[in-house]
Structure 1
């Protein structure tokens, strides 16, 4: 699992630019599924056929990660950028980035006004991304425009690293964790159901790929594979995020205070009973925070019973997210146990 997570996190793929991560996932699944296709939105849909007349089950993991995009180049060759997805400005400053251009990749650094030239009131404020810029070493706008173009995607650089015995750190664990779970389940699944493994696009900017792929597949049941906040570190109260790394994947009962998904009772019962009967560790979560592809899937057509399985992950939406590999492996075990019961 560690090797797969490393491979997935190292691949780029901000929202709308998921080609490389999609190709990697398709390479991993080659020979393990009956069919694969890329739909009009760019979703990867892998099919594993079940028994005739069996249920149709959709597993969805979004491929995209948060990132940046070039929106302006000033006369001195410095780049202004827009944020793609939910990014806290304070994590951007002084980071090294990779810009993906039509001619290959190049490195830049995010800078801003130096603190030595800030007034006292300025030093106490979080610097807005609008006051930052990317330095690619260009001497003027003309040289910069020969190197990059407006709309080029940008990713903050971070290496994949093991922390201690069971933890790993990397960029884009939201949601390459879900992608890794999807790949392993599709490889190992034994079920009477017809199984659709979907790598969705543009989740971070509106659950877009989930909407179109769920409409196309129209499954009898769906499970979204994502991550959730691990509240086991300083600065967060236990009641704000009770899930903890190393205690098993979280079965989400509700997110966004119910404005996202309220897990279908039959799906909830199936997930919990499978975990209990197989002795797979799990946690239950009612979240007031963000949401997942499940929110779009369960409202498709006349409604699709949907659940969410999410390994707890520290520092989500930063380049240094941390997950317990055992939680990821237990998420795979839980979904396989569920599929055997369908």
Structure 2
């Protein structure tokens, strides 16, 4: 990865955007595209506004396929007194540093876990309803990057790198994925009714397991808690083999992504999850191999050209 790529990923990981509170990242993405699109092969049309809430769509040429990448993260909401409620499914260990802001100013506090209940440790009370996220601590070694929120800022990063050379396609940045979803149905409706696009790739991050390891390539998922149509998945596997890009196959019984909502939509849209694997999921220490990031971007470039 180039130093500029590392800086972009580091910046993305540090932007405050828990589920339901994604607007800061949406604004960053709009500014980023407007600033950099003159260097891309095709300048996309930017589609956003009240009818899309905090989602953003980039339309390139004549779309035949789409990339979905969710921009939200897990986190915590302040309840009453010093109580916390999870946003999504974050790991919660005593001592984790959390940041946010309320009407009284910026916040940096510590998480406390006591018998399954979550609290914050701070020098003053925090306004109820305030969102908190893990404090960013981005680390890089020769082989790995490690940070909170590589899930899914790495999926967003990959989509932005694909945008540099994409000629025909849609890149769709969705919201709320970590906490039940909700934006993908209307995004599918718009995509299908405007462009009849019936092919979707989910640019997200998966897990290191007994069958998936660091440094062996991007993961093509055959299933998680949802089961995509095998005809389409076989098409993706054939293109992955053709590309020469290192990849791994995943078969899981749990977990999910925007693919679930695509499958539940009333439109005949095929989907497949394609993403790098990480360790220490949903913690401040998520860890991904640089070679797997490179493979993720390369395979997406090939798939979007061929689909």
> TM-score, structure 1 length as denominator?
0.80
Query: Using a 3 Å threshold, how does the CA distance of structure 1 residues 102 and 198 change in structure 2: closer, same or farther?
Result: farther
Residue 88, structure 1, aligned to residue 99, structure 2: no
Deviation string 1:243-262 (CA, Å, 9 cap, x unpaired) is: 11111111011112xxx2x2
Unaligned runs of 5+ in 1: 74-78, 113-126, 139-143, 232-237
Match of 1:136 among 90, 114, 122: 122
Are residues 1:26 and 2:30 paired?
yes
2:74 aligns to what? 66
Name the SS for the 2:178 alignment partner.
Answer: coil
Equivalent position of 1:296 in the other structure: 261
TM-aligned CA deviation for residue 310 of structure 1: 1.5
> Which one of the candidate residues 148, 152, 158 is aligned to 1:175?
152
Matching of residues 309-324 of structure 1 within 5 Å: 309-324=274-289
Contact 1:28 1:183 in 2 (8 A): no
Task: Tell me, yes or no, if the aligned pair for 1:158 and 1:320 is still in contact at 8 Å.
Answer: no
Determine which of 135, 148, 159 is the counterpart of 1:157. 135
Equivalent residue runs for 1:109-258 within 5 Å? 109-111=110-112, 127-130=114-117, 132-138=118-124, 144=125, 148-163=126-141, 165-191=142-168, 195-218=169-192, 219-231=197-209, 238=210, 242-256=211-225
3-state SS of paired residue (1:288)? coil
CA change 1:47–1:102 in 2 (3 A) is farther
Give the structure with higher Rg (CA): 1
Residue 322 of structure 1 and its aligned partner are, at CA, apart by: 0.2
CA contact (8 A) 1:255 1:289 kept: yes
Check the 8 A contact 1:33/1:187 in 2, yes or no.
Answer: no
Measure how far apart 1:172 and its partner are: 0.7
* 1:272 correspondence with 2:237: yes
TM-score (norm 2): 0.89
- RMSD of equivalent CA atoms: 1.8
1:13 paired residue number: 17
Pairwise mapping of residues 323-334 of structure 1 onto structure 2 (< 5 A)? 323-334=288-299
Q: What is the alpha-carbon distance in structure 2 between the residues aligned to residue 103 and residue 271 of structure 1?
A: 51
Structure 1 counterpart of 2:40:
none
Q: How many residues align?
A: 291
Aligned residues of 1:57 and 1:221 also touching (Cα < 8 A): yes
Gaps of 5+ in 2: 38-42
- For 2:112 and 2:277, the matched residues in 1 are separated by 32
Once residues 70 and 291 of structure 1 are traced to their aligned partners in structure 2, the CA distance between those partners, rounded to angstroms, is 26
Displaced runs of 4+ in structure 1, greater than 6 A? none
TM-superposition CA deviations, 1:160-205 (whole Å, max 9, x none): 0013x120000011111111111111222134xxx22111110011
103 and 213 in structure 1: CA distance in 2 versus 1, 3 angstrom threshold: farther
